[in-house]
Chains A and B, each alone.
Chain A
């Protein structure tokens, strides 16, 4: 199941979006996600969805690839939509016993579903076009002002990048431990949810022990290679803004203006 999550999986392609500075992409994605929640107007969604597809075409990432990111949130999506559909008061258009559907509920659940879907699609598109390393670099740079508040920005970025490096290794290890336990007769597929959770324990304990051992080894290896925190550190690939990055920032602003005018000036739908 872990393998299905698209977040953190880079799609190799050569596109304008891939080449953008990761800082632009992070800022842009954040802006996009926030913007999804700021309007309740049909036209706003037209603009947001249109922009998403425009960027997607530019990025050369196939739609089927991005949609995979929705799988893990599918249940949550249905759940929110159903909740909104049944429990929003308003004009009733369908009634069956205690169940009643309202136009407001329908509208709200569709909009909510749209927001969630495009939240995930938007961030997936960002992570698919940005290597995890670029991402942590971008966060380190963007959050740098927080250092003055004694937030260990460099350390957090380093931890993220190490976590990303070890995710595939630990996934593989989980797989190996599971198979080893299965070979000894362990059963992970049947029984109640509680029972299955309890059966996971023999996987978690060795996994944690191994993770701690790896952490210890890695710390030693980092020490041996002169790691001593973020001070006085240089970068092999420092982030430098190019012309296209400023253009991208400008497009982000243009998107906000377009969205605002669509929501404000077009008739409410």
Chain B
């Protein structure tokens, strides 16, 4: 019941966005509707995943959350602030921080700690406070020992954690990861996901994870699946993975583990549906096996 009492931090109602393609004379030749009537409500402190194949509009949606884009139609409120109002730009960007896909293209400074402080410098936080917050968020993301390093000598996963630290230093209520793990190797991906999970659980930061990796979604509280600019389906990961047909239409596939479990169910094995990790599946199978013996 306590979860229910929490207010919505992101409220999108009938959100639509159109890109206009223009020719040399500046005349509009084509209008692409990247978002078309999106209704999304995200509670404070939750871990929400937005799934979608390429061109499903998930990145456009992410850019709206940070006011890098604003609605063509409909409304989007971030922590009660209307994104259509340009007065709110800086406040929204401090409330909802964003981590992008390419680790190299989002680190601005030549030293890790200066990059983490970049956002704070921009909003005019006093020097002492910057130093304090940078130290704090570097420790939170486990990058403190690299504070004097050049970002060029870090691995992709470490760079993304620096980017997360840069967002965390702003003390946002919400962090948006726009395919932040797409360019990482499995080790880097795990380190980034572990970091954001910890931030979600310990600091109660709202996490919006935008991705096309089904495996990452399993940890989320709630999942939105996007298709051609609309929300195709939504629910808990378990509910979403049941909709194999809808997922196929969205050019997505349920994680391998879920597929195995579903096949087992179909074959008549009495196994629970809520299994998302190899360890958990192994445990469950062992339990079943010992059950047979006993």
Contact = CB atoms under 8 A, between A and B. Distances in A.
Interface of A: 131-133, 161-162, 164-165, 168-169, 214, 217-218, 220-228, 232-238
B174 to A, nearest CB: 13
B118 A133 contact: no
A226 B108 contact: no
Contacts of A222: 108
B114 A237 contact: yes
Contacts of B121: 233-236
Contacts of B123: 226, 232
B93 interface: yes
A165 B122 contact: no
Given A133-B111, A133-B114, A161-B110, A224 B105 contact: no
Interface residues of B, number: 39
A225 B93 contact: yes
B110 A164 contact: yes
B59 to A, nearest CB: 11
**Chain B contact surface mostly:** helix
Contacts, number: 92
Given A131-B110, A214-B104, A224-B97, 14 more contacts: A214-B102, A220-B68, A224-B98, A225-B97, A225-B118, A225-B122, A232-B124, A234-B124, A234-B126, A234-B130, A236-B127, A236-B130, A236-B134, A237-B114
Interface string B106-130: 1111110110011111111111001
Given A161-B110, A232-B124, A233-B124, A225 B119 contact: yes
Contact of A132 (B94, B110, B125): B110
B105 A228 contact: no
Nearest to A12: B148
Given A133-B114, A236-B127, A221 B105 contact: yes
B152 interface: yes
A191 B167 CA distance: 51
B102 A217 contact: yes
23 contacts: A161-B109, A161-B110, A165-B107, A165-B108, A165-B109, A168-B152, A169-B104, A214-B104, A217-B102, A218-B105, A218-B106, A220-B68, A224-B66, A225-B108, A225-B166, A226-B119, A226-B122, A228-B122, A232-B124, A233-B122, A236-B120, A236-B130, A237-B114
Nearest to A222: B108
A234 to B, nearest CB: 5
Contact of A224 (B68, B107, B114, B151): B68
A232 B105 CA distance: 25
A197 to B, nearest CB: 29
B90 interface: yes
A133 B63 CA distance: 30
A128 B140 CA distance: 33
